[in-house]
C-alpha cells in the first residue's frame, strides 16, 4: 500500500511508464489552463479550479521523478530568485 505523495508518484511511474505520464501531464496542464480561463471569465468556480490544479500538482510529482528531483529543486530556486527580483522592482515602481 502506498501513501505519501512521493510513494504515489513512484507507483504511478512504475505502473504507467514515463511516456504515458508525460502525455498525461500535457493533458492535465491543458485542462488547468482552460479552467483558469473560465474562472477568469466568471464561468468556473473555485472548486473546479482546485480540482484541475490538484491534477497538475499530482502529475508534476511524477514528472519531477522523471526529470530528476534535484534538477527540479535547482530550477525552483533559480525561478524564485528571479521572481524575488521582479517583486522588488515592482515595489519600487509602486512607491514612485
Ligand atoms: Mg484534470
Measured in Å, residue 72 CA sits from the centre of ligand 1 at 22
- Global pTM reads 0.87
Measured in Å, residue 41 CA sits from the centre of ligand 1 at 19
Q: How far apart are CA 77 and CA 83, in angstroms?
A: 10
Measured in Å, residue 8 CA sits from the centre of ligand 1 at 17
- Count of CA atoms in the C-beta half-sphere (13 A) of 11: 9
Measured in Å, residue 33 CA sits from the centre of ligand 1 at 10
pLDDT in tens, 35-75: 999 999 999 999 999 999 999 999 999 999 999 999 999 99
The pLDDT assigned to 6 comes to 82
Amino acid at each position: 500500500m502506498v501513501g505519501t505523495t512521493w510513494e504515489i508518484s513512484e507507483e504511478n511511474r512504475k505502473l504507467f511508464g514515463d511516456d504515458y505520464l508525460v502525455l498525461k501531464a500535457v493533458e492535465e496542464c491543458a485542462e488547468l489552463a482552460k479552467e483558469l480561463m473560465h474562472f477568469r471569465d466568471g464561468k468556473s468556480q473555485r472548486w473546479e479550479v482546485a480540482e484541475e490544479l490538484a491534477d497538475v500538482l499530482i502529475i508534476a510529482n511524477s514528472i519531477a521523478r522523471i526529470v530528476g528531483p534535484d534538477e527540479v529543486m535547482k530550477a525552483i530556486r533559480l525561478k524564485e530568485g528571479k521572481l524575488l527580483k521582479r517583486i522588488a522592482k515592482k515595489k519600487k515602481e509602486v512607491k514612485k
